[in-house]
Amino acid sequence: MVRRSNENEVQAVRALARLARLLERSSGDLNLAHYRVLSAVAEGHERAARVADRLALGKPTVSAAVESLTKRGLLAREDVAEDRRAATLSLTPVGEKALAAVEVEMLGWIDDLVGRTPDPERVLESLGQLGEALDELAAERAAKRRAR
């Protein structure tokens, strides 16, 4: 049986899709996947597998993004001595500047957007809660994949 969604859910999904597109357009020469990888590495997820789990992206997608970001000088890779397949990722100084610049632009859009709502603080709080729920969901899915 197909679950019927209510109008608020449909509006929320459409708004999130439009917001994602708006943020991608404001990300300069980084696509949204590259931005997400840089931000995950900045948060301390220093291995590609952890980045993939955190972002709910496939390992090939993350590997391609890491390769591109490394070639552009935004990420540095350092091989892990005890695991030849693994590498530690870190932002380069250029990567830190690029991430900061993109986030300033994105925050400007978010500030403008939520400022148009009746309760901007509540909207920001709700978006923060949504982010926490996404983190929980990503962790659960990663645990299920590892258990297989």
* pTM for this prediction: 0.80
Residues 4 and 1: their CA atoms lie apart, in Å, by 9
Q: What contacts 45, CB < 8 A, 6 or more positions away? A: 51, 54
Q: What contacts 46, CB < 8 A, 6 or more positions away? A: 88, 89, 90
pLDDT tens for the chain, residues 1 to 148: 556 678 888 998 899 999 888 888 877 788 888 999 999 999 987 888 888 888 888 889 999 999 999 999 999 998 877 776 778 899 999 999 999 999 999 999 999 999 999 999 999 999 999 989 988 988 888 788 778 8
Task: Count H helices and E strands in the chain, helices first.
Answer: 6, 2
pLDDT digits 0-9 by tens, 39-74: 999 998 788 888 888 888 888 999 999 999 999 999
- Residue 3: the pLDDT is 64
Nearest CA among 130, 95, 98, 99 for reference residue 19: 130
In order of start, what are the domains of the chain with their CATH numbers? Answer: 25-147 (1.10.10.10)
Residues 56 and 61: their CA atoms lie apart, in Å, by 10
